[in-house]
Structure 1
Amino acid sequence: MSGDDQSYKRARLRGDLESPFDAIVIGSGAGGLCSAALLALDGQRVLVLERHAVAGGCLQVYKRNGYEWDVGLHYVGEVHREGTLSTLFNKVSRGRLKWARMPEIYNRIAIGDAIFDYHAGSSAFKARMKEYFPAEASAIDRYIELVNLASKGSAGFFAERALPPSQADGLYAQVAPTFMTWAGRTVLDVLRELTSDETLIAVLCGHFGDYAALPEQASFAAHAMVIRHYLDGASYPIGGAQGVADGMADTVRSAGGLVLVGAEVARLIERGGQVHAVEMADGFVIEAKTVISSIGIRKTLDMLPADLESCAPLRWASSKLPLTLGAVVLNVGLNKSNQELGVGPANIWIHRSAQQGQDWKRYVANPAQEPMPLHFISQPSAKDPTWAERYPGRSTMDICSFTDWRLFEPYTQTQWKRRGQAYEDLKQRLTAEMLEQVYRFYPSAKGHVDYTELATPLSFNHFLNRSQGDFMSYSPTPQRYAQRWMRAHSPVKGLYFSGQDVSMGGVSGAMVGGLLAASAVLKRDLFRELRP
């Protein structure tokens, strides 16, 4: 999706922006593109504006030295079978997106030196967990019951967020009690009622990195939705994540719309209590009756006039919510194929011990000296069936390690690629620490690492317009789900919110946020329309 045809500057010179647009979408991540594609499928001409050189947000890929890596999509649940999410992906890509199913063991959880496998399917998952923890069979059964129960109320809870506040109260009163019963409690609170086995609790929380919040802080409903999302297994987009973004962008263009890069929006123009245009960084103004922002609620509010009274409560409330954990991501290129290295598609989540909360507290007390306590290793080249043909004799790994923002805060005033030697030294130290984990679990990789590149929380700030490397935005705490203002309708007419903040973190959560924004604009329940 790079190239001259998508350049904002060239589009403006050609006069492509002179014709009217029905809607403008700010940000081309999963949520923004999903909203734009759904409006395009309804016949609207949509303009998507992306400040960086490549559209897609966390769906994009980047290439270096004969390798390519996905930025933020590592696996997706529920798309291999009929359902709302698979129908949504199929609809916005007009049936062009294809998925490769991951093996039955899709996640492996390392607690210290012990490894526990996640098997696809509720029955298989429970059976394997009972093999590991035979004395906890009833707790394991009850856990899956609660996961299903807590997830069950999510559809109605989030669908209510597409309604204007004036119409939402009645539905909220119906759907909130079921969901908020579990959303209002933390993961650790619920699990410690089921079992006193700390290792089992740690295994059940083994991929809490998927929602980037500690189990003692995260809402059990958020945890349950993630577990339910993957419980039947996971898949990977054939050809890589960029195909997801490209498919939605093509849908936008098919209706006469545009997806432009290098297109930075400086401010939203409001008049008489309604947003009716955006002003670009170069001063050019583009009008539309509808503006959808997928860059996050907090960032969107910063684009509105500071004295706009209707937004004052949101500014205050959004500033009080905690953010998700930050991470460093090491992209590794290997000069051997996955087959030659004996590396399969399963992800591995690596925890220092079963005391996940204590390990994290120990780390953040001294992040400059303590090793990072949580790592995630993914092998995108092993998941994509087209990889071997496209990159013969090569393979890739991503290792994501959760870190403390304070390590990087001193460099916030520096520029990308010009942050100084101390920053480069920090990156080298972290790279070495992360490669140790690669060699620990994949010793065959030793001697075959051909290229590495480290992204830090500052990279996420630069490329994804985040604040503290919080690539999943607000933390999924009980406090978050109690916020009624986190919805598709903003307090200003003509402006809508899309993406992760409206729903949940991650690509699938952002897609649902995009669905909610499109439902709000079209004044239709698109959830209902997508149900098989």
Structure 2
Amino acid sequence: MSNSNQFDAIVIGSGIGGLTVAALLSKLNKKKVLILEQHFVIGGFTHEFKRIHKFKWDVGLHYVGNMEKGEIGRAVFDYITDGKLQWHKMPESFEKFVYPDFTFEEFADPQKYKADLIQRFPKEKQAIERYFFELKTIAITANLPTFLNPLLKLIFPSLGKIHRQTTKEYFDQNFLDVKLKALLASQWGTYGLPPSKSSFATHAMVIYSFLTGGWYPVGGASEIAKHIMPVIERNGGKALTKSQVTEIIIDKGIAKGVKVQKFHVSQAPVEEYYAPIIISDAGAFNTYTKLIPENDLIADYREEIKSFPKGSSAITLYLGFKESPEKLGFRGENHWIYTSYEHDKAFQEQKAKPDQVINSCYLSFASLKDPTATAHTAQAIIFVDYDFFSQWHKQSWKKREETYYDLKEKITQNILNFVESRYPGFKELIEYKELSTPVTLEYFNQSDRGAIYGIPAIPERLGKKWSNPKTPIKNLYLTGTDVMSLGIMGAMMGGVKTVGILKGSFGFFNIMSKCIQESSKAEKTADVVDCDSEALLQSADRIISESSNRELTHR
């Protein structure tokens, strides 16, 4: 075994979960980490691509919450980039929820957002206040280690019931107004499932992260990996692209390394890399069903995850403009456009026939979020069923039969007509357009059925053993969204959670403490840590104290 093939840790996949793990292991433990990425560019859903030498788009970032200076997300990002990644805040009115008879703006101030909701729905005041309280409770306690769950149930007795509810069940139980229920669910695209399917706990964690606004990396999404890699390389680590892990090497129940081939080249020679720690950011489904050889230790996991409900997929229309969309009044805010208050019914209609029905759309303007952008772009996203495109999944990218491209053009025009009906003049601005489908996602990230968010965020996912960072295979761990929550922030915190497991019982809190302290020092003031960062640490101290007291009592 040559030294060139030996590392302190191997990370499979370069999404933000994998990059976070690698950076933390390098910075905290001086580990030499190898990242293996099957795509020809690193970053996962934080990478970008360019067309006709000027138009640039992110493929999955769109915007990030919890990034105000002093907030937990910002502290972690600052830590893993040595504070060199800069962020641009979206407009104060950063979300527009567009319905047939009204448009509601969400401002980057939770108190104003709550007050605006109460002003519009005064009869629901008590329920709205309870909703905001429970968003915060769920978001903060979600970051605590699972072994503290028994204590959490004593401190927050209602949490267990809420965690088992769908978003629709929670809304139906707490609210009366149909429009209010629809409004609060407007951002369901950030976790990929409509109210009757999604876990309210996931809804709470994701929505809470955006209450203080949305942010975008200065220079574009690819700046994230660009600023994380030096932290990894500092201790001899590196990332290899076009390197598809085909198998995790396991000997007597212990993960020892990985087998790698060039991406989409079946006859390419197999290379092997070894490390005492293997961490998969390839998703729980791929890890248990494709990467681990037949093994009695994970047989039950494999069968259960195969039969678990599948995640949703999406179509993204990438647009390049002749001139700034500010001409039509856009300022960089997101637009969530709906034709109905019944999200579930609308989703069912659209996902099965996107060539005929477009009744909802998420519209994002990356170029208006990035102050360095030199050409104007947008993305229009709709959620669809993978099965509608499955007949083309075995055909190669850019080499599929003509009927596929005809269908793409029809859907493209349907989406543009849908947006045009809300914003006249939109189509006239377009210079370039390109549509990606679920089979595009499947081809590039090897996700099961092009599932953009991995394992679906349904209540049944809670507590599944295969969503734990620690696997039954010694020295093999998972990271990313499947072990935490969804989106960029969820995947990054999944990285923190995995390294926390590696560092012991209270490793998560130790890591967060270092991130917050370094962020605070960078600002040269101790009071930069916001109330939520303090709340997390205070919750940890409180629960650790109670745990210690109980341990002493039972000795």
Aligned-residue offset at 1:460: 0.7
- 1:174 paired residue number: 151
Question: Partner of 1:200 in structure 2?
Answer: 180
Question: Matched residues in 2 for 1:304 and 1:445: separation?
Answer: 45
- SS of structure 2 residue aligned to 1:398: strand
Distance change >3 Å, CA 527–CA 317, structure 1 → 2: farther
Aligned twin of 1:314 = 301
Q: 1:500·1:513 contact (CA, 8 Å) conserved in 2?
A: yes
Residues in 1 aligned to 2:354 and 2:187: alpha-carbon distance in whole angstroms: 25
Matched-pair contact (CA < 8 Å) for 2:289–2:306: no
Paired residues of 1:345 and 1:383 also in contact (CA < 8 A): yes
Q: Work out the CA distance in 1 between the residues paired with 2:300 and 2:93.
A: 46
**1:284 corresponds to which of 267, 271, 279:** 271
Per the alignment, residue 407 of structure 1 pairs with: 388
Q: Would you say the 8 A contact 2:246–2:291 is kept in 1?
A: no
Aligned pair partner of 2:13 in 6, 24, 27: 27
Q: Report the 3-state secondary structure (helix = DSSP H, G, I; strand = E; otherwise coil) of the residue aligned with 2:94.
A: strand
TM norm structure 1: 0.90
Q: Is the 8 Å Cα contact of residues 330 and 453 (structure 1) preserved in structure 2?
A: yes
Which residue of structure 2 aligns with residue 147 of structure 1? 135
3-state DSSP of counterpart to 1:267: strand
Encode CA deviations 1:290-330: one digit per residue, 9 max, x unaligned: 11110001101234454300011211221232233211001
Correspondences of 1:372-387 after superposition (within 5 Å): 372-387=358-373
The unaligned stretches of length 5 or more in structure 2 are 262-268, 517-555
- Equivalent residue for 2:209? 229
Q: 1:454 to 1:363 in 2, by over 3 A?
A: closer
Counterparts of 1:64-213 in structure 2, within 5 Å, are 64-65=51-52, 66-156=54-144, 159-160=145-146, 168=147, 171-175=148-152, 178=156, 179-213=159-193
**How far off is 1:143 after superposition?**
2.0
Distance 2:465 2:306 in 1: 15
Tell me which residue corresponds to 1:525.
507
User: Is the 2:315–2:382 Cα contact (8 Å) retained in structure 1?
Assistant: yes
1:53 aligns with 2:40: yes
Relative to structure 1, is the Cα distance of residues 200 and 35 closer, same or farther in structure 2, using a 3 angstrom cutoff? Answer: same
% identical aligned pairs: 30
Indicate conservation of the 8 Å contact 1:36/1:252, yes or no: yes
Check whether the contact 2:500–2:511 (CA below 8 A) recurs between aligned residues.
no
* 1:492 counterpart residue number: 473
Q: Aligned residue for 2:522?
A: none
Which AA in structure 2 matches 1:530? M
Query: Are residues 359 and 341 of structure 1, via their aligned partners in 2, closer, same or farther at CA, if it must alter by over 3 Å?
Result: closer
Per-residue Cα deviation, 1:267-307 (whole angstroms, up to 9, x for no partner) = 11110110101111221111111111100011012344543
Within-5 A mapping of 1:210-221: 210-221=190-201
1:238-387 map, 5 Å: 238-281=218-261, 282-304=269-291, 306-364=293-351, 366-367=352-353, 370-387=356-373
Question: 1:431: which partner in 2?
Answer: 412
Q: Structure 1 residues 305, 49: closer, same or farther in 2, change over 3 A? A: closer
Does the 8 Å contact 1:187/1:217 carry over to 2?
Answer: yes
| Residues 1:38 and 2:5 are matched in the alignment | no
Residue 466 of structure 1 corresponds to 447
* Pairs aligned (count): 501
| Matched letter for residue 311 of structure 2 | T
Name the structure 2 match of 1:4.
Answer: none
**Distance in 1 between residues matched to 2:88 and 2:350, nearest whole Å:** 37
What is the one-letter code of the residue matched to 2:22? A
Residue from 488, 505, 516 that aligns with 1:507? 488
Partners in 1 of 2:244 and 2:294 — Cα distance?
A: 23
Q: What is the aligned partner in structure 2 of residue 5 from structure 1?
A: none
Match of 1:3 in 2: none
Alpha-carbon deviation of 1:453? 0.8
Say whether the 8 Å CA contact 2:124–2:176 is kept in structure 1.
no
In structure 2, relative to structure 1, the CA distance for the partners of 1:305 and 1:242 (3 Å cut) is closer
Change (3 A) 1:313 1:174: farther
Q: Deviations over 1:438-483 (max 9, x none)?
A: 3234434332211011110111101111121211011111100131
User: C-alpha displacement at 1:176, in angstroms?
Assistant: 5.7
- AA partner of residue 244 (structure 2): E
Sort the Cα spacing of 1:19 and 1:322 in 2 relative to 1 into closer, same or farther, 3 A: closer
Q: Which amino acid aligns with 2:230?
A: D
> How far 1:132 sits from its partner (Å)?
2.6
Could you tell which deviates more after superposition, 419-428 or 435-444? 435-444
Contact between 1:338 and 1:381, CA under 8 Å: does it hold in 2? no
SS at match of 1:21: coil
- Mapped to 1, the partners of 2:365 and 2:303 lie a distance apart of 41
CA RMSD, Structure 1 to Structure 2 (Å):
1.9
SS of the residue corresponding to residue 406 of structure 1 reads helix
The residue type paired with residue 218 of structure 1 is S
Return the alpha-carbon distance in structure 2 between the equivalents of residues 306 and 290 of structure 1: 17
Aligned to 1:163: none
Q: Structure 1: state its 5+ residue gaps.
A: 1-14, 161-167
Separation in 2, partners of 1:369, 1:463: 23
String of CA shifts for 1:80-129, please: whole Å, max 9, x gaps.
Answer: 13132211101111111111111121111112342111122221001212
Q: Deviations over 1:130-161 (max 9, x none)?
A: 333233333322321222233332121xx33x
> Per the alignment, in what secondary structure is the counterpart of residue 485 of structure 1?
helix
Q: Distance in 1 between matches of 2:399 and 2:259?
A: 29
1:304 & 1:206 partners in 2: Cα distance? 37
Shift of 1:489: 0.8
Quote the Cα distance in structure 2 between the aligned partners of 1:442 and 1:511: 35
Q: Is 1:268–1:303's contact at 8 Å kept on the other side of the alignment?
A: no
Deviations 1:32-68 (A, max 9, x none): 1110010111200000010110000100010001210
In the alignment, the residues of structure 2 paired with residue 77 and residue 530 of structure 1 have an alpha-carbon distance, to the nearest angstrom, of: 17
